[in-house]
Amino acid sequence: MLWNDEMDSELRDLFSKGLSYTQIASVMNRKFQTVLTRNATIGRSHRLNLQGTRTEERPRSRKHISTEPKPVRAKRPPMIKAEFIVPVCVEVPVKPRHITLQELSESVCKYPYGDEPPYTFCGHPSKTGKPYCSPHWNVTNPPRS
Ligand SMILES: [Zn+2]
């Protein structure tokens, strides 16, 4: 879209009269036989530094939100302590060995797999003194922020 000086001055003029961008586009389209969109007039007015003089036109969505009555929030459920949350669908950067219950020992990760018996377990060497390997320990004990 090419803008000539005449169109620029028309845009300035309409803008100073307080027309909306949609109105400016339609007036100019009639006058110059153009097919300007609202966005085109917005873009051009930005380039001409016109927007700084206008304050009333705000993004429509914002206005919409502010007039909407806020839904009443239900009371928050009580906080559950992190230790009692069992992660079910967490992506862990470790490939489980899927060992059986019988194969479990003190030194291997006991992170369970499977939704129903027979369950399998991670089976990788566990963190010293912990029941899980490092990746699973991090999942079950996320660092506190
Ligand atoms: Zn593990």
Q: Which residues surround ligand 1, an ion (CB under 5 A)?
A: 109, 111, 122, 124, 133, 136
Q: Rounded to whole angstroms, how far apart are CA atoms 5 and 11?
A: 10
Q: For residue 144, what pLDDT is reported?
A: 72
CA of 89 to the centre of ligand 1 (A): 14
Q: What token pair was written down for 2?
A: 């090419």
- The token duo for 37 is 């969109």
The one-letter amino acid at 127: K
Query: Measured in angstroms, how far is the CA atom of residue 113 from the centroid of ligand 1?
Result: 10
pLDDT in tens, the chain (145 residues): 678 999 999 999 999 999 999 999 999 999 999 999 999 999 999 999 887 656 555 555 544 455 556 667 777 766 656 555 555 556 778 899 999 999 999 999 999 998 888 899 999 999 988 999 999 998 888 777 6
The dihedrals phi and psi of 59, each to the nearest 5 degrees, come to: -55, 135
pLDDT of residue 116: 85
Reduced 3-state DSSP string for 39-87: HHHHHHHHHCCCHHHCCCCCCHHHHHHHHCCCCCCCCCCCCCCHHHCCC
Give the pLDDT score at 71.
67
Query: 80: CA distance to ligand 1 center in Å?
Result: 24
- Please give the backbone phi and psi of residue 119, each rounded to the nearest 5 degrees, phi first: -75, 150
CA 99 – ligand 1 centroid, Å: 11
137 CA → ligand 1 middle, Å: 7
pLDDT given for residue 63 in this prediction: 47
Phi/psi class of residue 70: alpha, beta or left (left: φ > 0; alpha: ψ in -120 to 50)? beta
For residue 126, count CB atoms less than 10 angstroms from its CB and return exposed for 0-12, middle for 13-18, buried for 19 or more.
buried
**C-alpha 55 to ligand 1 mean position (Å):** 58
Residue 56: CB atoms within 10 A of its CB come to 6
Between the CA of 145 and the centroid of ligand 1 the distance, in Å, is 23
